[in-house]
Amino acid sequence: MRIFKFGGASVKDAAGIKNVYDVLLKAGYEDVLLVVSAMGKTTNALEIVIKNYFDKSDELKSSVQEIKKYHNQILLDLFEDDKNEVFAAVNTQFLELEYFLIHNKSPNYDFVYDQIVSYGELISTTILSHFMSYMGIKTQWLDVRNFIKTNANYRDAEVDWELTQANISKNVKRKILNVTQGFLGSDENNFTTTLGREGSDYTAAIFAYCINAESVTIWKDVPGVMNADPRYFENASLLNQISYREAIELAFYGATVIHPKTLQPLQKKEIPLYVKSFINPLLPGTSVSKGSTLEPFMPCFIVKREQLLISLSSIDFSFIMEENISEIFGLFHQFKLKVNLIQNSAISFSVCVEDKFGNFKELNSILSKKFKVDFTENVTLYTIRHSDDKAAHTVEEGKTVLLKQVGTETMQIVTKEN
């Protein structure tokens, strides 16, 4: 079985859904499992619903209505007859969402987040599955929450591999097009969990690992894995082949084409990963597999914007030792700040972090009791794999360099725009 993953950009409208159908005709669809994300910017729209649920109840109904309107237009563009059963199926899912909004009693933001945001994937896969059937491709729609079991760490759940393996190996049918959701799982009480933002790639890898898949293909709006984001760098080049190790390094440092957790389960069973274009599906794209070298060999640039550079120093000029660093990292973990760069000296300790949950203000009040805390907001972190002088100059030109760290294979530079 092959695993195909389609992200939100590939199913953002009726034309996108029709294009997925065309891709399947060209790439083949028998014995394939599709992992599909929410349509377009639906996840962002559902995050607004969550915000309104907690803070702006008078705007809650209208924010849900906007999402309904968006999906209903896609349905009308795809299906000639509004009596098609897909309309009722999608309406039922919106009724379930509205029921939760009325009857939920939990004040836990992360729990509420997972229950609400999951409807993006549930609705998108319902529409796509019905459309494939409408076009003559027999499909089986799978509720991924019955397959991927996790702990109850909402918004960043950890997979229970033993239970998940048993569920998938017993219940996924072969020789048919299976359609399921990315990003989602469920805990032991069957409440919905999510695997972290952009976790649909990881979902594809989980299924691949559990069924010993032939391959995983991530379908993107780019030709494959590039050596740089074309939005930020001119003349970005395609990487034809890369090793699992190189892909893991790129993903770890923030390359957005492949989710960081995706590579590990694939590497364990040496399942090849392909990153290909859903615009030109017959192009070869990028192959990630065992032993592949970086081809062509060139510097690779990764950009992480809206970072926070924090510098901690001891108030009494004492050394910052292991116990201090251990305590600091414990707090970063507690407040869910992702550390992307570390640099320390005898009496200071600097980190570049991502505060995606907005917890730094609270953390700062705790750190300030023991350390002198300086921070710079909205900095950009550049990571260059296989750097050379020209690559470094490209990043530094026209910017203020706040911090620079050079290793044998990787250079990281924190900058502020002038």
Partners of 77 in the β-ladder: none
Contact between 276 and 285 (Cβ < 8 Å): yes
- What whole-number distance in Å separates Cα of residue 212 and Cα of residue 324? 44
Taking the CB of residue 241, how many other CB atoms lie within 10 A of it? 18
Quote the CA–CA distance of 254 and 262 in Å, as a whole number.
13
164 is an annotated ligand-binding site residue: no
Q: Is 231 annotated as a binding residue?
A: yes
Question: Measured between alpha carbons, how far is 177 from 128 in angstroms, rounded to an integer?
Answer: 11
How many other C-beta atoms can be found within 10 angstroms of the C-beta atom of residue 92?
11
Q: Can the peptide bond before residue 223 be classed as cis, meaning omega within 30 degrees of 0?
A: no
SS3 of residue 136 by DSSP: coil
Per DSSP (E only), the strands in 89-194 are 139-141, 177-181, 184-186, 192-194
Distance CA 362, CA 367 (A): 9
CB atoms within 10 A of CB 129: 23
- What is the rounded CA–CA span in Å between residue 340 and residue 342? 7
Query: Which contiguous run of DSSP H or E holds residue 166?
Result: helix 161-171
- The CA-to-CA distance between both ends of the chain, in Å, stands at 51
Q: Is 175 annotated among the ligand-binding residues?
A: no
Is 43 assigned a ligand-binding role in the annotation?
yes
Is 196 annotated in some ligand binding site? no
Q: How many CB atoms lie within 10 A of CB 291?
A: 9
Q: Is 306 one of the annotated binding-site residues?
A: no
Matching residue, tokens 């591999």: 161
10 Å Cβ neighbour count for 401?
Answer: 13
Angle at CA of residue 78, ends 75 and 83, nearest 5°: 60
69 is in an annotated binding site: no
Can you say which residues are annotated as belonging to the binding site for ATP? 5-8, 231
Can you say which residues are annotated as belonging to the binding site for substrate? 43, 121
Can you say which residues are annotated as belonging to the binding site? 5-8, 43, 121, 231
